[in-house]
Amino acid sequence: MLSITNIHASIEGKQILKGISLNIRPGEVHAIMGPNGSGKSTLAAVLAGREAYEVTEGSVSFLGKDLLPMLPEDRAHEGLFLAFQYPVEIPGVSTTNFIKAAVNEKRKYLGQEPLDAVAFMKLMKEKMAMLQIDQSLLSRSINEGFSGGEKKRNEIFQMAMLEPRLTILDEMDSGLDIDALRIVAAGINQLRTKDNSLLVITHYQRLLDYLEPDFVHVLYNGQIVRSGTKELALEIEQKGYDFIKEEAGLAESL
């Protein structure tokens, strides 16, 4: 589904990603862990097409298409969804109107008729019931004055409405207490199918208790320094990132 080959990326001339390769197949859950500043969020931003980042080397193929030349909105239409670490507030734009615009822009891209008000409300009601989202949240301006938990649940609700093939969860657990985390993770699990994949970016093992990754990769200093199964996450939880750093440092000095 997603095939990243030797990606190098920089921002304002500063090299952040230094050759990352990763292969995600349909239905798989991959976790990317790593200490602060290792490049985890940069990877998410590069995949989503954030303009400030410059890809200097490497390529990315998504569902057989060359991802990097695509506009961010087209990447979204093709089925790539980024759940933001800090969802952005847009005053004056109701959550419902925002999602309606998103759904219909995607349909336009796919050559489908836009959903009329009735069909759209039906779809919304269905997804709201599934994720136990309250109507009042949707009539408010998007993310404005939302609590941390509400923002993240709203991200998952948008994911449900847009039905992406690949979802990147950028630090989904930040700003959430344990109860909110469980609710959000349960929502994500409900949306999983054998065709859809997840790329979970996180500091902590906690979220992975709920999402159970097939593979765990450790990012350090812009490179994947170790890959393994979910047991690797547990090992990190126990030992911290220091042993990884030492290993990496050792490898560099050799």
Partner 1 sequence: MKDELTTLEKTIAKDYAYGFSTVIATDVIPKGLNEQVIRLLSAKKEEPEWMLEWRLKAYRHWLTMEEPGWPNVHYPEIDYQDIIYYAAPKNKGKLNNLDEVDPELLRTFEKLGISLNEQKRLSGVAVDVVVDSISVATSFKEQLSAIGIIFCSISEAIQQHPELIKKYLGSVVPATDNFFAALNAAVFTDGSFCYIPAGVRCPMELSTYFRINTENSGQFERTLIIAEEGSYVSYLEGCTAPQRNENQLHAAVVELVAHKKAEIKYSTVQNWYPGDHDGKGGIYNFVTKRGLCQGDHSRISWTQVETGSAITWKYPSVILKGDYSVGEFYSVALTNHYQQADTGTKMIHLGKHTKSRIVSKGISAGFSQNSYRGLVRTGKHATGARNYSQCDSLLLSDHCGAHTFPYIEVKNATSIVEHEATTSKIGEDQLFYCKQRGIDAETAIALIVNGFAKEVMNKLPMEFAIEAKKLLAVSLEGSVG
Q: Measured from the CB atom, is 50 or 203 closer to partner 1?
A: 50
CB of 56 to partner 1, least distance (A): 15
Binders of partner 1 in range 35-74 (CB under 8 A)? 48-52, 71-73
205 scored as a contact of partner 1 (CB under 8 A): no
CA distance 34 to 204: 9
CB of 170 to partner 1, least distance (A): 11
CA distance 170 to 30: 12
CB of 105 to partner 1, least distance (A): 5
Q: Measured from the CB atom, is 5 or 97 closer to partner 1?
A: 97
Binders of partner 1 in range 7-36 (CB under 8 A)? 12
CB of 219 to partner 1, least distance (A): 21
CB of 101 to partner 1, least distance (A): 5
Q: Measured from the CB atom, is 50 or 192 closer to partner 1?
A: 50
Q: Measured from the CB atom, is 52 or 178 closer to partner 1?
A: 52
One-character DSSP codes across 38-75: SSHHHHHHHHHT-TTEEEEEEEEEETTEE-TTS-HHHH
Binders of partner 1 in range 88-107 (CB under 8 A)? 88-94, 97-99, 101-102, 105-106
Q: Measured from the CB atom, is 5 or 94 closer to partner 1?
A: 94
Pairing of strands 223-228, 215-220: antiparallel
Nearest CA-CA partner of 44 in 207, 223, 220, 199? 199
Q: Which two tokens stand for residue 219?
A: 């990012």
CB of 161 to partner 1, least distance (A): 10
- 202 phi/psi in degrees, rounded to 5: -155, 155
CA distance 82 to 103: 15
Q: Measured from the CB atom, is 157 or 220 closer to partner 1?
A: 157
Q: Which of 162, 180, 183, 191 binds partner 1 (CB under 8 A)?
A: 162
Nearest CA-CA partner of 161 in 133, 180, 183? 133
CB of 26 to partner 1, least distance (A): 21
CA distance 32 to 227: 9
Binders of partner 1 in range 210-239 (CB under 8 A)? none
Sequence-ordered alpha helix ranges (H) in the chain: 40-48, 72-78, 95-109, 117-131, 135-139, 148-162, 178-191, 206-211, 230-239, 242-253
Residues engaged in binding partner 1 (CB under 8 A): 12, 48-52, 71-73, 75-77, 81-82, 84, 87-94, 97-99, 101-102, 105-106, 109, 141, 158, 162
